Amino acid sequence: MSAPRPFKVDIPQEKIDQIYARLRCASWPAEPDDAGMWQYGTELGFLRSFVEYWLTEYDWRAAEAELNAWPQFMTDIDGIDVHFYHVRGTGNGRALILTHGWPGSTLEFLGMIDRLAYPARYGRNPESGFDVVIPSLPGYGFSQPPSRPIGPRRIASMWRKLMIEKLGYRRFGAHGGDWGSAVSTWLGADHADVVAGIHLNMVASWSRDRHPPESDDEAEYRRELARVQSRDFAYHHVQTSQPQTIAIALSDSPLGYAAWVLEKFNSWSDSPNGLDDRFRRDDLITNLMISLVNDAAATAIWLYRGRAVEAATGAYATLRVDVPTGVALFPKEFIPYPPRAVAERTYNITQWTRMPAGGHFAALEEPCTLSDDIRRFFSFL
CATH number, domain with residue 328: 3.40.50.1820
* Rounded alpha-carbon distances, angstroms, from residue 73 to 157, 177, 275, 311, 331: 19, 23, 32, 32, 35
* Alpha helices by DSSP H, the chain: 13-24, 44-56, 60-67, 107-117, 152-160, 179-190, 216-232, 234-241, 243-252, 254-268, 275-278, 281-292, 302-312, 340-343, 362-365, 367-377
pLDDT of residue 37: 86
How many structural domains does the chain have?
A: 1
Report pLDDT digits (tens) over 325-374: 999 999 999 999 999 999 999 999 999 999 999 999 999 999 999 999 99
Tell whether 41 is covered by a domain: no
Tell whether 21 is covered by a domain: no
Tell whether 263 is covered by a domain: yes
Tell whether 43 is covered by a domain: no
* DSSP-derived pairing of the beta strands 95-99 and 131-135: parallel
Report pLDDT digits (tens) over 344-356: 999 999 999 999 9
- Mean pLDDT (the chain) is 96
Length of the chain: 381
Say whether pTM exceeds 0.95.
yes
Q: Is the dihedral of CA 339, 340, 341, 344 positive or negative?
A: positive
Tell whether 12 is covered by a domain: no
Tell whether 34 is covered by a domain: no
The number of angstroms, rounded, from the C-alpha of 42 to the middle of its chain's C-alpha atoms is 21
Asked whether the predicted pLDDT for residue 207 surpasses 70, the reply is no
Tell whether 15 is covered by a domain: no
pLDDT of residue 36: 84
Domain of residue 249, residue span: 49-380
The number of angstroms, rounded, from the C-alpha of 353 to the middle of its chain's C-alpha atoms is 20
Tell whether 174 is covered by a domain: yes
pLDDT of residue 317: 85
SS3 (DSSP) at 77: strand
Contact 173, 95 (CB under 8 A): yes
Report pLDDT digits (tens) over 80-133: 999 999 999 999 999 999 999 999 999 999 999 999 999 999 999 999 999 999
